[in-house]
Structure 1
Amino acid sequence: MNANAIVQKLWRLCTVLRKDGITYQQYVTELTYLLFLKMMAERNREEGNIPPEYRWAALVKAEPLHKLKLYRNALTALGDPEGSLPRMVQAIFDNASTFIREPQNLTTLVTAIDELDWFSEERDQFGDLYEGLLQKNAEETKRGAGQYFTPRVLIEVLVRLMKPKPGEVIQDPAAGTGGFLIAADKVMREATDDYFTLGTKEQEFQKHQAIHGMENVPGTLRLLLMNLYLHDLDSDHVDLGDTLSDKGKTLGKADLILTNPPFGPAGGAPTRDDLSVTATVSSYQLPFVEHCIRALKPGGRAAIVLPDNVLFEDGRGKELRRMMMDWCDLHTILRLPTGIFYAQGVKTNVIFLTRGKTETGNTDDVWIYDLRAQMPKFGKTNHLTDAHFTAFEEAFGSDENGTERGEEQGVEGRWRCFTREEISARGDNLDISWLRELEEEAEEGLIEPEDIAAAIQAHLQAAMLEIEALSAELEETTLAEAPEAGE
């Protein structure tokens, strides 16, 4: 049975557990615990990781009433921070508890997992299976998972264009469930026969040093660690923490950053002392961009998913864009279609940049590809595919630093070049569009209540971001004009 078939079968079991009041996200968390135990048994890795009394075989054999008690005890014991189990096991089961109340429901789930054929003749299916479950969860939940789950097709496009290479440190400071890190590792494995063509030292680096990430939500970190482990990736440099706090400094310098940071209010300004440009900004997206600029090594590159306001916001937003174009070669902006993040009204972009060796004058031209205007409505029933990105990939060219370009298409096309002087004349506003975007007509065509609500919410969020930016700018002006003590 292939991974897709397994995903569909396991997902259908969620309807059984809904009787226990379990949500989709709780179901995926529950599956994470059970699949981890099953995986350890399948891969013969229980020794040293899972005490005998809590192993999969013991759970399968237990009677229904005892099974639920055994399972609850296992979750507590495996996540005990005072225990002697490996860090990865403790992290996955940290503060774990089951949402299942009916013993028969646990029996149904354990039996179904135990009876599935997990392995194809050629390769382990666990990684594909788990990512499939994460994607189903994101598709079903407009909030929660959908906020941090980047569409797989977009991840694969960005990884292809950025060309991760063995020996590079690859970082995602807002790692979510690990999509970017895993996709980058997959590309490098395919290029090196699963790293077998590398020397011993190089193999060790790839398995234990190459991947760096941080995630601020404990429940999401659990899914991230499970995803990494199922893809045979070490998680020593993936940690729980706020990237915008001092802990974010521990991520270190990177050769490549791939990330989709959170959008919206952050509940306060960054607490890191090195984020000087965005020190007073109380939203996520601007400080995360400054982190990426500062975290890149000279010559390092990044692809960052961002909302529209980063491209046009005044005050600190404008100062950040100037820093970005001075310190880096901001060579490409991709205007993404709406609806691809499971919410119709959210407007996003991808910025592609390369860190310069100096901190002045690194951007000469910015190329912009408009994949938003005059595009079909995307959503749950109309998915974005690789084919939608084909023309952009051809225009971007084969060089990851944007030095090989397709021909400029002018005002009638999607691909245009703007000089640094032209951008400066616009007040360093990078929110540039030239094709007519019939947004109003597109929103008039929405019929699903959840899509209509998402469009309204996106408009309100954009308005709130502008209000926050204006408030911050006014506050800075007030502080600057206030007389110093003793005057």
Structure 2
Amino acid sequence: MGNQQIVQKLWNLCNVLRDDGITYHQYVTELTYLLFLKMMKETDNEGAIPEEYRWDSLINIHGLELKKHYQTLLIDLANEGNEVLQQIYTNAKTNIDEPKNLEKIVRSIEELDWYSAKEEGLGDLYEGLLEKNASETKSGAGQYFTPRVLIDEIVKLVNPQPGERCNDPAAGTFGFMIAADRHVRQQTDDYFDLGEKEAEFQKNKAFTGVELVKDTHRLALMNAMLHDIQGEITLGDTLSEVGKSMKNYDVIMTNPPFGTKQGGERPTRDDLTFATTNKQLNFLQHIYRALKPNGEARAAVILPDNVLFESGTGAKIREDLMDKCNLHTILRLPTGIFYAQGVKTNVLFFTRGTTDKNNTEDIWVYDLRTNMPKFGKRTPLNEKHFEPFVKAYESEDRASVKDDRFNVFTRDEIQKKDNSLDIGLIADESLSVYENLPEPIDSAEEAIAKLEQAVGLLNEVVTELREVENGTNNVGTTGEKSKVAETAEVTGNE
């Protein structure tokens, strides 16, 4: 049994809990509590867990006794000295009311093919669960889940290297950093090409993040642990005082939450130059300021369209970005790739300069949105859709790229448009059917002329038919077209 089948089996267990009124998101959180214990057993890492709360303690008892034991376990593990245990189980509580449902889930987890799961990777199994959760639009989980293919393409282009400090200030389930870790492992034979200190740095310090939502933070911790990443994942708000100490990163990759700060509040930190309630604009300020000013530190950030064109403070922030960084590429993403349908997003790729002025000269924009398929569950976005963009992005001479979707704009052109970055969208073919239509006035006048002609011909038809009735008209005997036929042609009738 492969991980995909295991994920489906685990997911189907959610049906057991419907009578308990449990949401998909609550179910994944509940699974995290249980899977942590099971996976610690499977990987021989139960040492930090008190013996009375290890996985086997759950499979040897039943009914109400099991439920009481499980409730006690959740409380006590949060108070253990082990930091990972505390973080996974802090404020943990069960949403399962029926003891028989809890027992069914425990038994089902125990019966899964864990040998195959370990062979394919427990981290991949868990990520599969998170992806399944995000695809359930009713769960609201899509708000923190970025499509895997998009993450992988961004990581490939940003190309994090061994020894670099990577960060996601809106970490979600830690997908960007896990993909970055995978990318570096592939370059270094799973870190075996590195020295002992360098490998230790990669596992313990290279990949960090911040997540605001407690349950999502718990999922991120579990995800990182199963991928053997021990970098710090802070529970907090990057737009608060927490974010002030986040500096000098080599790489930042992130998908900040959409919307405005709750209640229209401004961020509580005082080191952002431009005050706004727009979350994405504040995250954007944080990101380009948190990069090392060494000419090499780089970022890729997913942002909605409004960030590209919002006036006032938005224009000032974009100008500051283009001054401090080389904003070299914007990818206009297709709609339908996020689970919030209709959201229009973009990826901004930029490199922090060594100075704070005039780092952006030209911006290349790739339109992957216009005239693209309608993406969704039936037509998922895949790697092939990105191939033309990747080819253009990696070209040593971008000006030589023959692709109508790839266009360049100078800083002067952008400044004349109030620093708007809402640029580079090509002509929409779905609108081309209207391009050759005549002007409305001309169409109306032509229609009136035809109607007048038709009325005149109808009058003549009436006269002609009367003559036929009276036997005074030999219609069709001379080869001439009758008025009936002419009228049919004008009015379009047969």
TM tier, smaller = 0.7 to 0.9
Give 5+ residue unaligned stretches, structure 1.
442-487
**TM-score, normalised by the number of residues in structure 1:** 0.85
Matched position secondary structure for 1:254: coil
**Deviation readout 1:211-242 (Å, 9 max, x if unpaired):** 1100011111000000000101004x210011
Change in 2 beyond 3 A, CA 1:290/1:96: same
Alignment length (residue pairs) = 428
Name the CA distance, whole Å, in 1 between partners of 2:3 and 2:207: 25
- Specify the alignment match of 2:5 in structure 1: 5
Query: Is the 1:408–1:416 contact (alpha carbons within 8 Å) kept by the matching residues of 2?
Result: no
For residues 103 and 440 of structure 1, the distance between their equivalents in structure 2, rounded to whole angstroms, comes to 59
- The answer to whether structure 1 residue 253 and structure 2 residue 253 are counterparts is no
Of structures 1 and 2, the one scoring higher in RCO (CA 8 A, sep 6+) is 1
Correspondence 1:206 to 2:202: yes
C-alpha displacement of 1:438 = 6.8
**Percent identity of paired positions between Structure 1 and Structure 2:** 56
**1:69-108 maps to which residues of 2 (within 5 A)?**
69-80=68-79, 83-84=80-81, 86-108=82-104
Distance (whole Å) between structure 2 residues aligned to residue 336 and residue 270 of structure 1: 28
Q: What is the CA RMSD across the aligned residues, in angstroms?
A: 1.7
Corresponding position of 2:287: 292
Q: Residue 397 of structure 1 aligns with which residue?
A: 394
Task: Give 3-state SS (helix, strand or coil) of 1:90's partner.
Answer: helix
1:50 maps onto 2:37 in alignment: no
Report how far residue 93 of structure 1 moved: 0.6
Write the distance in 1 (CA, Å) between the matches of 2:191 and 2:302. 29
Distance 1:142 1:69 in 2: 31
Please state if 1:234 is matched with 2:230: yes
Contact 2:160 2:184 in 1 (8 A): yes
Cα displacement string for residues 249-304 of structure 1 (whole angstroms, at most 9, x for unaligned residues): 23332100000001111121111111112x2x112100000000100012200000
**Residue 132 of structure 2: which of 114, 127, 136 is its match?**
136
Matched, 1:14 2:14: yes
For structure 2, the 5+ residue unaligned runs are 433-494
The CA deviation at 1:380 is: 2.5
Q: Which residue of 2 aligns with 1:30?
A: 30
Q: Is 1:120–2:116 an aligned residue pair?
A: yes
Question: 2:413 maps to what in 1?
Answer: 422
2:62 counterpart residue number? 63
Offset, 1:440: 9.2
- Note if contact 2:325-2:353 (Cα within 8 Å) is conserved in structure 1: yes
- Taking the aligned partners of 2:17 and 2:261, their CA distance within structure 1 comes to 34
Larger radius of gyration: 2
Is the counterpart of residue 321 in structure 1 residue 318 in structure 2?
yes
Aligned mate of 2:368, from 363, 366, 371: 371
User: Contact (CA 8 Å) 2:117, 2:125: kept in 1 or not?
Assistant: no
Q: Counterparts of 1:418 and 1:149 in 2: how far apart (Å)?
A: 32
Q: Provide the C-alpha distance between the structure 2 equivalents of 1:39 and 1:141, rounded to a whole number of angstroms.
A: 28
State the partner residue of 1:383: 380
Q: Which amino acid aligns with 1:75?
A: L
d(CA) in 2 for partners of 1:404, 1:221? 42
Q: Which moved further from structure 2: 63-72 or 30-39?
A: 63-72
Q: Are the structure 2 counterparts of residues 438 and 95 from structure 1 closer, same or farther at C-alpha, using a change threshold of 3 Å?
A: farther
Q: Secondary structure at the match of 1:297?
A: coil
1:323-472 residue pairs with structure 2 within 5 A?
Answer: 323-397=320-394, 405=398, 407-409=400-402, 413-437=404-428
Contact 2:325 2:350 in 1 (8 A): yes
* Change over 3 Å in CA distance of 1:360–1:200 after alignment to 2: same
> Does 2:163 align with 1:186?
no
Which residue identity lines up with residue 111 of structure 1 in the other structure? Answer: R
SS in 2 for 1:13: helix
- Taking a change above 3 Å as real, the CA distance of residues 16 and 346 of structure 1, as seen in their structure-2 partners, is same
Distance 1:189 1:39, change over 3 A: same
Aligned mates of 2:174, 2:271 — CA distance in 1: 26
Measured in 2, the distance between the counterparts of 1:260 and 1:440 equals: 32
TM-score (normalizing by structure 2):
0.84
- Distance 1:133-1:406 versus aligned 2 partners, 3 A rule: farther
Per-residue deviation at 1:180? 0.1
Counterpart in the other structure of 2:472 = none
- Amino acid in structure 2 at the alignment position of 1:200: E
CA contact (8 A) 1:327 1:359 kept: yes
